[in-house]
Structure 1
């Protein structure tokens, strides 16, 4: 992939999906080709309900879809998705014991014998009890994904997340929008579209309220005017950013005079192709509170290893040592070793006590 032209085009295609979610299958195909994979997916997993919802697929045979759905509850990778940072790729050959993963009941039930090998999965949305991911599966001929493949997935992920955030594809509420303006109007976050000279071309209701307070930016003669030194530096960065950065988009945290922090995201919209010319989309919102699942809280608090995290994820489902060993594709003694380490780190002695302690790590007010 040429770093400027092809990458820029692919970013534009991803944002096209914010306007028309039916394009995701085709765009996942383009992403798959760029990474060198064979199949791609966008899935929402609900581990406690033992279900998953497929939002979009590329090149998945129907029978494989049915198998993956039927066996979603034994996917050993889901606990990692509940604990990994958003937009940070997980790679089977790097973050899992690949031999054990290929021996797991989930892999042997769904993927074995199909010439598939490595799997990049990226969490892009999460609640206390669910995780949404996109992923690309590679074949045996490709072998393990390389550094460039994983870095490309890392670069694409923030844009994929923004696109699905705008469209509501993975959430409980979906924004039905025929235009970018209509989609942005429905956002709770402040959203503006400005021209090259700072002229405000679009401003949703939340942005109007933000500008009225004039804490970081204000409106004057239909132009966006910064009122803080950080705001002025931000506006200068818009004017001086190279084309590649404008297409890729940038993030910044700006602090107003009251000490409040705003997370500002901007990206050029040349690829959208609407009548608004060559504008820049700016999103203003307060930084998201770090959302921790019980499992992710345990990983952070008790410094659990990958193996311990996988075992704990199965224990939280009430599975026995033998069942966990079969699901993870490892020996029962290995599971016991990991579980003993979890008991030691959490200072618990019984499974019921362990489950109670872990589930109490996340406040019910954040569900």
Structure 2
């Protein structure tokens, strides 16, 4: 679908990946322009990442419409990355939120065409919920895709326990957090090579997950209290790979997370808590990455006075008076279950 959308608008690149607030990206699917070291280096000065980070799910962020070409052309990102590659416009979406890690996809057009039209934007917006649904349910996975390093890398970045078990409850994939969860045994544990529930309620949920309930649209979700006293949400969905059909021995995707996982993005929390504008979000995001006001002004292509004006507003809204205090206050908003920046 990503490739078809990209081709439909004459795009140069379509990409689906996992990003962090610190500017790290793991690409799960790519169409068009290959990903290079220059792409990785450009992330540190990308003015769109802070905005996508707090963008509502499935709401389009369009460079020409929402950011403005004049503002974009003033940025260091445009000078050093966009213009040398002959790129012009983009439309991007946030589709998942895993604390300070978020899934997103983007379509990028080149200078061989004009900016995206309202009709093209509307067409892509119609498709966006379906892409999100596909990502949520299958994590862009089938059994064959799991073997692909790019998809495995994307799942490894997700800050939720993700497991795939076969019809006999044997694990065929577990990302790092899932390995820790199973080793801890608070909700799920490994017994005789099979994933079992650590409590009666967890075992019942696993049985439902392995049965017909998980194959219905939307799968199942259960709230469980672990042996450590923490609540977990267990989501399960059957993966019908290769059209296995009715009665087949489907593998099952399990996602185990805490209700507080969505609160671990301190910049997003600050944006909601303090009522920040998009420009203030950008300044705050780059501040938390260690940039100075002068450096932020260069990145965004605005004056230092403008950045300091946003800083003054950030101080007023957050009840702080110094940059270090503002950054500390922002990072303190993250859940104490994980140190800031740890994936």
TM-score by length of 1: 0.63
Aligned mate of 1:37, from 3, 11, 19 = 11
Q: Match of 1:172?
A: 156
SS at structure 1 position matched to 2:276: coil
Compute the displacement of 1:309 (Å). Answer: 0.3
SS at structure 2 position matched to 1:73: helix
Question: What pairs up with 1:149-228 in 2 under 5 angstroms?
Answer: 149-164=124-139, 166=141, 167=146, 168-172=152-156, 185-186=172-173, 205=195, 214=204, 224=212
SS at structure 2 position matched to 1:345: helix
Distance 1:36-1:291 versus aligned 2 partners, 3 A rule: farther
SS at structure 1 position matched to 2:104: strand
**Contact kept in structure 2, 1:253 and 1:261, CA below 8 Å:** no
Q: Match of 2:91?
A: 119
- Residues 74-121 of structure 1: per-residue CA shift (max 9 Å, x gap): 111222233335555433345434431232111221111614212324
Q: Match of 1:336?
A: 308
Compute the displacement of 1:310 (Å). Answer: 0.5
Of the two, which has the highest radius of gyration? 1
Compute the displacement of 1:57 (Å). Answer: 2.4
Q: Match of 2:331?
A: 359
SS at structure 1 position matched to 2:30: strand
Compute the displacement of 1:61 (Å). Answer: 5.1
- Residues 52-89 of structure 1: per-residue CA shift (max 9 Å, x gap): 44444221156xx3432222211112222333355554
Q: Match of 2:243?
A: 273
Compute the displacement of 1:205 (Å). Answer: 4.0
Compute the displacement of 1:143 (Å). Answer: 2.1
Compute the displacement of 1:279 (Å). Answer: 9.3
Question: What RMSD, in angstroms, separates the aligned Cα atoms of the two structures?
Answer: 4.4
- Residues 197-243 of structure 1: per-residue CA shift (max 9 Å, x gap): xxxxxxx8459988885579869xx975xxxxxxxxx89x95xxxxx
SS at structure 2 position matched to 1:155: helix
Q: Match of 1:60?
A: 33
- Residues 263-315 of structure 1: per-residue CA shift (max 9 Å, x gap): 7665884x733476789987676675223311111111111111110111122
**Contact kept in structure 2, 1:262 and 1:284, CA below 8 Å:** no
TM-score by length of 2: 0.67
Question: What runs of 5+ residues in structure 1 fail to find an aligned partner?
Answer: 1-9, 11-27, 189-203, 225-233, 239-248
Question: What runs of 5+ residues in structure 2 fail to find an aligned partner?
Answer: 147-151, 179-193, 225-230
**Matched length:** 297
Inter-partner Cα distance in structure 1 for 2:332 and 2:211: 49
Inter-partner Cα distance in structure 1 for 2:220 and 2:299: 42
Inter-partner Cα distance in structure 2 for 1:142 and 1:277: 49
Inter-partner Cα distance in structure 2 for 1:102 and 1:181: 56
Which moved further from structure 2: 153-162 or 102-111?
Answer: 153-162
